[in-house]
Amino acid sequence: MSRYKKSQYIRQEDLVNNSDIFNGDKGNGCFMGKPRHFVLKDGMNNLYEPIRNDVLRYFKDNDISWWGGDKPSGHTLSSQIACLNHLFAIMNDHDAVLTMLNGVRNEFEKVLPVGCDANPKYIGFEVVSKKDHLNENTSTRGSNCTSVDAFVYARHKGDGKLWLIPIEWKYTEHYANLDKSNEDRHGEEKGSNGKGQERVRRYSALTDASLQLKSLDSYYGSIYYQEPFYQLMRQTLWAENIVKHKHVETLKADDYMHIHVIPSDNKDLLAKKYSVSGMGMEETWRSMLSDQSKYIIVDPQELLEPIKDKYPELVSYLKKRYW
């Protein structure tokens, strides 16, 4: 187990034992067939109390799948839950969302309602494209295709162009050296007519055509098929192709900026030397990008810093729970 993940297990178990943050839920919920002290019996208690009912309604109204089941996960280290706990409470506040975004890069004059939602607000969750541009054969929110954990739609100050702002949210994630281009499906030889080959078939031509991702002579075994870069590759292609095909998309945009939210203490993700590069996570990913300005890493506390005075109760909860 990674050092950071272990520290967060200890943190969450202490909250289960010694606080009322989980509405009296004392854990020992079931995860992977066993009761775990850090898993709540009722996943609703894993959400910030003021947003609980609204989150359920949002997921139902927009037909979004929950990670790991049909309801909020009770796993206290869930990054989906962490993303919602940080951002959902401000999604209807234009000025707060704009201030937060401009804290990352001060370039935007306005944020717009996320039009793909049933009741559009200024942040969307588990957002997908209207059309399948990535050869994935589906656009189901939250499962079986490329989606983004959170999403902001913004107008640029300089030229008035519309931007996509996909947000990928990490909490305790870290990754082994597993090659997703070399994975079989039903016991075939690895990389032969299985999941790995299908992945390369889907994305290699799109990567060749990308203006942002650097092309390679061969994609098998490459950086693009190792996590977390496999996710980043697909999300980059997702944003790039929504811009390219804006005439058929609900979210019509001219440009994008990819925000990667990662706790700065998660060195097991950030500082690991990846076997495909011999470098850390950020150095590895930036080595594959043509325009460095389109990719930004930010700590979750830093992300919400510009609005901390406007949302003191939310910030107090987040400090206790995560920071």
Query: Mind listing the pLDDT tens digit for each residue in 176-225?
Result: 988 999 877 555 445 455 788 999 999 999 999 999 999 999 999 999 99
Q: What percent of the chain has pLDDT over 90?
A: 88
Has residue 219 been placed in a domain?
A: no
Query: In 62-212, where does DSSP find H-type helix?
Result: 79-87, 94-104, 195-209
What per-residue confidence (pLDDT) applies to 296? 98
Has residue 218 been placed in a domain?
A: no
pLDDT band at 294 (very low <50, low <70, confident <90, very high): very high
Has residue 259 been placed in a domain?
A: yes
Has residue 308 been placed in a domain?
A: yes
pLDDT band at 10 (very low <50, low <70, confident <90, very high): very high
- Of the candidates 262, 268, 242, which has an alpha carbon nearest to the alpha carbon of residue 253? 242
Q: What is the C-alpha to C-alpha distance for residues 210 and 216, in angstroms, rounded to an integer?
A: 11
Contacts of 285 (CB under 8 A, 6+ apart): 223, 229, 232, 295
Average confidence (pLDDT) over 238-250: 97
What per-residue confidence (pLDDT) applies to 188? 47
Has residue 297 been placed in a domain?
A: yes
Decide if 161 contacts 168 (C-beta within 8 A): no
114 token code pair: 């996320």
As beta bridge partners, residue 167 has 150, 259
pLDDT band at 265 (very low <50, low <70, confident <90, very high): very high
What per-residue confidence (pLDDT) applies to 32? 82
Has residue 267 been placed in a domain?
A: yes
Decide if 35 contacts 112 (C-beta within 8 A): no
C-alpha Rg value of the chain to the nearest Å: 20
Residue 156 scores a pLDDT above 70: yes
Average confidence (pLDDT) over 101-122: 97
Domain range for 61: 3-178+226-321
> With 0-12 CB in 10 A as exposed, 13-18 as middle and 19+ as buried, what is 316?
exposed
**More confident site: 143 or 153:** 153
Tell whether the torsion through CA atoms of 11, 15, 18 and 19 is positive or negative.
positive
Helix, strand, coil percentages in the chain from 3-state DSSP, rounded to 5: 40, 15, 45
Residue 114 scores a pLDDT above 80: yes
Tell whether the torsion through CA atoms of 137, 138, 144 and 146 is positive or negative.
positive
DSSP labels for 110-138? EEE--TTSSS--S-EEEE--SS--SS-S-
Average confidence (pLDDT) over 270-287: 97
**Contacts of range 66-73, beta carbons closer than 8 Å, 24 or more positions apart:** 66/142, 67/142, 71/43, 71/44, 72/43, 72/44, 72/46, 72/47, 73/43, 73/46
Decide if 97 contacts 91 (C-beta within 8 A): yes
Average confidence (pLDDT) over 223-250: 97
Decide if 300 contacts 263 (C-beta within 8 A): yes
Decide if 50 contacts 23 (C-beta within 8 A): no
Has residue 197 been placed in a domain?
A: no
**Whole-number mean pLDDT of the chain?**
94
Average confidence (pLDDT) over 244-259: 97
Number of domain units in the chain: 1
